[in-house]
Amino acid sequence: MPFIEIKGVSYVYPLREGVSLKAVKNLTLSIEAGEFVALTGMNGSGKSTLAKLLNGLFKPTEGEILIDGISTADEERIFDIRRRVGMVFQNPDNQTVATLIEDDVAFGPENLGLPRDEIIKRVDFALQAVGMSEYRKRDAAKLSGGQKQRVAIAGVLAMRPDVLILDEATSMLDPAGREEVMGVVRKLVDQGITVINITHNMEEAALAKRVVVLRKGRLAIDGTPSQVFSSSLLESCGLTLPPAAALAKELKDSGIDIGTVTTEESFAEGICKLLK
Amino acid sequence: MQAVEIKNLSFVYSKGTPNEKLALDNIDLSIEEGSFVALIGATGSGKSTLIQHLNGLIKPQDKKHSSVIVGGKNAADKKTLKTLRFEVGMVFQYPEYQLFADTVEKDVAFGPKNMKLPADEVSRRVKRALETVGLDYNEFAERSPFDLSGGEKRRVAIAGVIAMEPKILVLDEPVAGLDPAGRAELLALIKKLQKEVSPTVILVSHNMDDVAALADRVVALKDGRIVADGAPRDVFSHRAFIMHIGLDLPTAARLVDKLEKKGITLSKRIITMAELKDALLSIFKKRAKKRGNNMGYAQINAVTDGNKNADENVEECDGASPVDEKAKGDESSPVSDEKAEGDGAKDENDSGSAGGGEDV
């Protein structure tokens, strides 16, 4: 059985009297444990709504979402769901609750009522996993954006989650910060955590093993980065190829076919092969 | 005429405390009217502090030695401060967070009203501003800005700034957080704003592709100092230096370096994807011709659109060369660089030099 099962899910936002917005429409999708999935689509396509549905912040208006067999609508298990599915949001400045970094990371485990030893163990583990151990006694407000997001990830890891959801967690960072965070994410994927990265940066999406594209609340494309990048539907989803992939496509139109390119490295290799 | 003239500008945050930080260190910067300047540098390099001096949000700390003259006005002068703020339009990061009125019309009208313009002029400007940013006046004027999509909100916020018809437009990371379609639209809009509303544009950006595509001058800051200043093509061509100051390259330049590692040498002055495409097409064209000639070895002069040539070399591809990225800079291909440099490559569409040859 897949770890995450989304079965015929719709979600409707009540806007005001008599007006509502259907943000997710009859979505069916499953994700196996350990997958690294990029969830993408233009603004308003339903990505963030789906993320909030996955950890029970929102309950499906129709359909059902199962996390390891537990329904997100099951009120009695909601804290279990939230522990298992951790989220990191967009704004690095809105996600710290404590002054000291180690206190911030300890916040979750403390709320679980864990014994002190266990909390310390988890904080050590989490800070090490994101490469922030040496900063543990520092002031969280003085960190760079990338460091703040790594601390936010550590806060989630301290809960020993099964799934990490990043909701545009890099979109407010500079390129160096983005790289820092994605470096940590790749490491976590290698360690077996299921990661869902919500992004409209297509270069970042290409780092995942699977890319799921939403369009107006519906599933539009689902496949490997190279399948998604070669899909004719991409444009209608309001997405553009990363620059190297776009150039490969233009070259193809000019009669030079280097295959589907997902990364800059594969672009260089493709050119090279043809010139050999 | 100079739109901006900054002399000896330094700025220290939290002066006299243990957290004291030198944000700007003796900056001299003149910006010619009508230019499109990209301000780049890592987070914390002083970009935001610098632009906040332009409309007096931050005043020079050392009034004796520093001066900030914008549009002929001293930014430290209280008497002209209000006028200055109308002349320098600031679009901060995530400007949609600053929307406040209950209709789009009122929000965009806020600036021109503060300028004490007559009512019909205010309404003319609101209409023009909304139309310039691509929002239909009749459709949007009465709507609440808070019910709009993210991209629309941002355009309303920008309309609020350009409704003051500022001579200088300063944009801090204007496309951050937008989806690809929204980004492309907004970048095109900025170019249009320069033509139609604000002749001088200062863009703060981390995206070197945008910088390469839009700016005619790039100013790089590091630790509060100006460390590079020139045409994007010149600045980005100094690879070793760019790496040293911790800046990124445009995608096209990065691809040129990746190809070089594999033995395909292209000009280091290529900064846009269009230029890279031309350069590659020209290599493939040469290759096809050569195949036809059945030559075993050739050093070929490439001619791109008849305006440029350079000796370029394609070595064996699979010999994944073990060149250390850090160890190489401009010096690794001085020939192609110098050749291209002679042409000045001022034209945006002007492709860098390219060509091909091979050892078989």
Q: Which of B149, B248, B284 faces A175 most closely, judged by CB atoms?
A: B248
The whole-number pLDDT of residue B315 equals 56
* B155 contact residues in A (CB cutoff 8 A): none
Domain containing A153 — which CATH number?
A: 3.40.50.300
Mutate which of A17, A43, A253 to test chain B, going by most B C-beta atoms within 10 A?
A: A43
Report residue B330: phi and psi, to 5°: -65, -35
Confidence of residue A21 (pLDDT cuts 50, 70, 90): confident
Residue type, A39: L
The number of CA neighbours under 13 Å toward the Cβ of B38 is 28
Query: Is A169 a domain residue?
Result: yes
pLDDT in tens, B173-224: 999 888 888 888 899 999 999 999 999 999 999 999 999 999 999 999 999 9
> Mean of the pLDDT values across residues B148-172?
93
- The domain segmentation of chain B, as residue ranges, is 2-230, 251-341
Query: Is A262 a domain residue?
Result: no
SS3 A90: coil
With an 8 Å Cβ cutoff, are B262 and A200 in contact?
Answer: no
Distant-in-sequence, close-in-space partners of A15: CB < 8 Å, separation ≥ 6: A21, B147
pLDDT in tens, A108-150: 999 989 999 999 999 999 999 999 999 999 998 888 888 999 9
Query: Is A21 a domain residue?
Result: yes
Cα–Cα distance, B4 to A15 (Å, whole number): 47
Confidence of residue B24 (pLDDT cuts 50, 70, 90): very high
The whole-number pLDDT of residue A144 equals 86
Which range is least confidently modeled, A176-180, B31-35, B139-143, B281-285?
A176-180
Tokens of A32: 């196996």
With an 8 Å Cβ cutoff, are A172 and B316 in contact?
Answer: no
Query: Is A270 a domain residue?
Result: no
SS3 B185: helix
Helix-strand-coil split of chain A, %, nearest 5: 40, 25, 35
Strands (E), chain B: 2-13, 21-32, 36-40, 67-70, 73-74, 88-91, 168-172, 200-204, 217-222, 225-230, 301-304, 308-311
Number of domains in chain A: 1
With an 8 Å Cβ cutoff, are B246 and A176 in contact?
Answer: yes
Answer yes or no: is the ipTM higher than 0.85.
Answer: no
Q: Name the average pLDDT for chain B.
A: 84
Confidence of residue A154 (pLDDT cuts 50, 70, 90): very high
pLDDT in tens, A182-220: 999 999 999 999 999 999 899 999 999 999 999 999 999
Confidence of residue B323 (pLDDT cuts 50, 70, 90): very low
Please count the residue pairs, one from chain A and one from chain B, whose beta carbons lie less than 8 angstroms apart: 100
> Mean of the pLDDT values across residues B73-87?
93
Residue type, A231: S
Confidence of residue B317 (pLDDT cuts 50, 70, 90): low
> Mean of the pLDDT values across residues B272-289?
93
With an 8 Å Cβ cutoff, are B181 and A42 in contact?
Answer: yes
pLDDT in tens, A29-46: 999 999 999 999 988 899
* B184 contact residues in A (CB cutoff 8 A): 240
Domain hosting A57: range is 4-240
> Mean of the pLDDT values across residues A51-69?
95
SS3 B38: strand
Q: Which residue has the tokens 């190829």?
A: A241
Residue A254 Cα distances to A184, A268, B255, B301, B314, angstroms = 39, 17, 19, 22, 21
The whole-number pLDDT of residue A116 equals 95
pLDDT above 70 as % of chain A:
100
Fold of B2-230: Rossmann fold (3.40.50)
Residue type, B47: K
With an 8 Å Cβ cutoff, are A264 and B258 in contact?
Answer: yes
With an 8 Å Cβ cutoff, are B281 and A172 in contact?
Answer: no
Confidence of residue B314 (pLDDT cuts 50, 70, 90): low
Tokens of B207: 């995206």
Q: Is the pLDDT of residue A5 over 90?
A: yes
Cα–Cα distance, A85 to B28 (Å, whole number): 51
Tokens of A149: 């997001």
B257 CA: distance to closest CA in chain A (Å)? 9
Contact B100, B146 (CB under 8 A): no
- Return the higher-pLDDT residue of B36 and A139: B36
* B273 contact residues in A (CB cutoff 8 A): 243, 246-247
The whole-number pLDDT of residue B316 equals 53
With an 8 Å Cβ cutoff, are A238 and B356 in contact?
Answer: no
Distant-in-sequence, close-in-space partners of B165: CB < 8 Å, separation ≥ 6: B125, B197, B198
The whole-number pLDDT of residue B63 equals 87
Q: Is the pLDDT of residue A251 over 90?
A: yes
With an 8 Å Cβ cutoff, are B263 and A272 in contact?
Answer: yes
Q: Which of A15, A243, A275 faces B251 most closely, judged by CB atoms?
A: A243
The whole-number pLDDT of residue B313 equals 53
Q: Name the average pLDDT for chain A.
A: 93
Query: Is A276 a domain residue?
Result: no
The CB density around residue A1, as the number of other CB atoms within 10 Å, is: 9
The whole-number pLDDT of residue B360 equals 30
The CB density around residue B17, as the number of other CB atoms within 10 Å, is: 8
Query: Is A181 a domain residue?
Result: yes
Q: Is the pLDDT of residue A240 over 70?
A: yes
Q: Is the pLDDT of residue B289 over 90?
A: no
Q: Which DSSP letter does residue A22 get? A: E
Contact A205, B179 (CB under 8 A): no
The whole-number pLDDT of residue B329 equals 41
